[in-house]
Amino acid sequence: MATNEDCIFCKIARKEVKSEIVEETDNFFAFLDLSPRTKGHTLIIPKKHFSNIMDLPALYGNELLDIIKKVGEKRLKEGNEGFNLVMNNFPAAGQVVMHAHIHLIPRKKEDGFRTLG
């Protein structure tokens, strides 16, 4: 498994750093964000180290979509009315951790969370 020894998300994927696991597949790991924007805010990361979407191999696409849908379905069953998917790529776009990751942010009408669109 390609990893970056100092990357916090690689450490989480290797289970060296404790996280609250939401879902796991062969190549992806979903866990609760430590600084959630809303209750249930989940990060979805590849287990291997890829810096951003540009590095992520296309062959992971279906598996990534499947885990997004599984986590989204869990959040909807918890009473959320929708969810946003956010992925920042490169520092200029707000990426802070240089390990590809998608934020799944559960939403309810009138929750006060602002998004693009």
The string of pLDDT tens digits covering residues 108-117 is 998 888 776 5
The whole-model pTM stands at: 0.93
Residues in the chain predicted with pLDDT less than 70, given as ranges, are 1-3, 116-117
Q: What is the predicted pLDDT for the residue at 117?
A: 58
CATH architecture of 8-107: 2-Layer Sandwich (3.30)
Copy the structure tokens of residue 112.
Answer: 């006060």
Amino acid, res. 99: H
Residue 29 CB burial class (10 angstroms; 0-12, 13-18, ≥19): buried
Give which of 31, 71, 27, 67 is closest to 50, Cα–Cα. 27
Copy the structure tokens of residue 29.
Answer: 């790991």
Report, as residue numbers or ranges, the catalytic residues. Answer: 101
